[in-house]
């Protein structure tokens, strides 16, 4: 246990780190910076353009991710997201506004294409931070939103292929532990069987649908935005784990896990396997590490080490898990990190600090050959 003297010394060190961060921020105007997961090139461009035009940072990042939420071809977020095991799309989202230190979230909401907007309504129009399930839908309807069918032909086909995959060895099943799924041998798509079941669907879509069936996606978008005054906000939005048990909530709507923003320090967010992130309260851990003086790069690596510890650093199991963290400090420095990568093949994240958005490499905890 920490004694009083150690506690005082630790508190003084944190205060010194925050003071030095504030000093490094200086008083001059900063360049607006927006970062997001790799699927957010357009989102970053939109958000940065809005920030430069004077929009609030939260309005800007929400408008950015709305592009992805409304995109039927992104099957991990909003409209067109892969559904739960009943074939129903359930969405999670959270927002945090640095300047006013407020947060809002919705979880397992059905029928609304842009859950990030509903999360902001929760933040602004209620005394709550999170509303879930049918209550979240009724809250959205009270604010004039209409329930819509969020399934597309592509996501419905993928769901049917997943149902077929369940009777084959290698199928992914949420009713057993993650460990059992990870230890399962997966196999190549049974194209002959799939073609006869879905004659109208192309081989390309069938191969993709099989991959989603046996390696369900946890894809998500996290977006963090900073303006020239140093104000910072963030949003995370997702359709969550494909084929989930209805009502399953991932990390994205959980303040501190999928998203955390502290106006004194910076913001962080995550994409990937939410169950891993919730157990290390990842976004909060990243921000607190930056508060203690770590760079964004060091902070994302630090939280990835904690994720690795969840599986006792067993690289064989970790090899099949996908998780990324994103960090933007209030002085504009940023980084993102993933569990795995190599110098030739690595994950990327999106950045816009003016002009065109670009992908930058994620740092990684464990290197791979190739
Ligand atoms: N990170 C998204 C999820 O696990 O739901």
pLDDT at 8 over 50: no
User: The dihedral of CA 350, 92, 271, 254: what is its sign?
Assistant: positive
Reported pTM? 0.90
CA–centroid distance, 244 to ligand 1, in Å, is: 10
Atom 4, ligand 1: residue with shortest CA distance: 274
pLDDT at 7 over 80: no
CA–centroid distance, 16 to ligand 1, in Å, is: 35
Query: For the chain, which domains are there?
Result: 28-149+217-367 (3.60.20.30)
Of 84, 93, 244, 252, the one to substitute when testing ligand 1's pocket (max ligand atoms within 8 A of C-beta) is: 252
- Spatial neighbors of 155 by CB under 8 A, at least 6 apart, are 75, 80, 81, 82, 83, 89
Phi then psi for residue 239, to 5 deg, are -95, 0
Give the dihedral of Cα atoms 1, 286, 113, 92; nearest 10 deg: -20
What's residue 21's pLDDT? 60
Ligand 1 pocket: which residues have CB below 6 Å?
218, 220, 238, 240-241, 250-252, 271-274
**Band (211; pLDDT cuts 50, 70, 90):** confident
**Band (11; pLDDT cuts 50, 70, 90):** low
What's residue 129's pLDDT? 98
Of the ranges 195-204, 206-215, 265-274, the best mean pLDDT one: 265-274
User: What does the DSSP assignment read for 119-175?
Assistant: HHHHHHHSS-SEEEHHHHHHHHHHTT--------HHHHHHHHHHHHHTTSTT---TT
What CA–CA distance (Å, rounded) separates 332 from 353?
9
What's residue 6's pLDDT? 47
| Range in 18-27, 322-331, 339-348 with the lowest mean pLDDT | 18-27
pLDDT at 195 over 50: yes
pLDDT at 282 over 80: yes
Q: What is the mean pLDDT of residues 286-293?
A: 98
- Across the strands, what pairs with 92? 238
- Spatial neighbors of 288 by CB under 8 A, at least 6 apart, are none
**317 vs 264, more confident:** 264
Reported as a single tens digit per residue, the pLDDT across 105-158 is 999 999 999 999 999 999 999 999 999 999 999 999 999 999 999 999 999 999
CA–centroid distance, 268 to ligand 1, in Å, is: 15
- Annotated active-site residue 220? The verdict is yes
Atom 5, ligand 1: residue with shortest CA distance: 240
């Amino acid at each position: 246990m920490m004694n009083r003297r150690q506690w005082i010394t630790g508190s003084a060190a944190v205060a010194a780190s925050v003071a030095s961060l504030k000093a490094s921020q200086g008083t001059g105007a900063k360049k607006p910076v927006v970062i997001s997961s790799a699927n957010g090139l357009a989102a970053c461009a939109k958000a940065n353009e809005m920030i430069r035009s004077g929009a609030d940072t939260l309005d800007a990042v929400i408008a950015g991710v709305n592009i992805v939420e409304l995109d039927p071809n992104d099957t991990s977020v909003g409209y067109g997201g892969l559904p739960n095991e009943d074939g129903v799309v359930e969405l999670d989202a959270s927002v945090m506004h640095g300047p006013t230190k407020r947060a809002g979230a919705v979880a397992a909401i059905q029928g609304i294409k842009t859950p990030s907007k509903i999360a902001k309504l929760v933040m602004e129009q209620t005394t709550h931070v999170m509303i879930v399930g049918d209550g979240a839908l009724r809250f959205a309807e009270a604010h004039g939103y209409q329930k819509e069918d969020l399934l597309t032909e592509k996501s419905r086909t993928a769901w049917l292929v997943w149902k077929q995959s369940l009777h084959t060895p290698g199928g992914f099943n949420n009713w057993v532990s993650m460990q059992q799924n990870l230890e399962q041998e997966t196999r190549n798509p049974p194209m002959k069987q799939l073609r006869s079941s879905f004659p109208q669907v192309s081989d390309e879509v069938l191969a993709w649908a099989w991959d989603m069936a046996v390696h369900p996606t946890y894809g998500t978008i996290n977006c963090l935005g900073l303006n020239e005054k140093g104000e910072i906000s963030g949003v995370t939005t997702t359709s969550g784990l494909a084929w989930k048990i209805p009502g399953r909530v991932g990390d994205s709507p959980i303040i501190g896990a999928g998203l955390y923003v502290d106006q004194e320090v910076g913001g962080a967010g995550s994409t990937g396997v939410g169950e891993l992130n919730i157990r290390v309260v990842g976004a909060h851990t990243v921000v607190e590490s930056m508060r203690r003086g770590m760079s964004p790069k060091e902070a994302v690596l630090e939280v990835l080490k904690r994720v690795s510890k969840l599986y006792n650093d067993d690289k064989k199991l970790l090899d099949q898990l996908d998780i990324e963290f994103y960090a933007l400090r209030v002085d504009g420095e940023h980084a993102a990190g993933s569990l795995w990568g190599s110098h030739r093949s690595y994950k990327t994240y999106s950045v816009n600090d003016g002009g065109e958005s670009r992908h930058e490499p994620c740092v990684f905890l464990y290197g791979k050959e190739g």
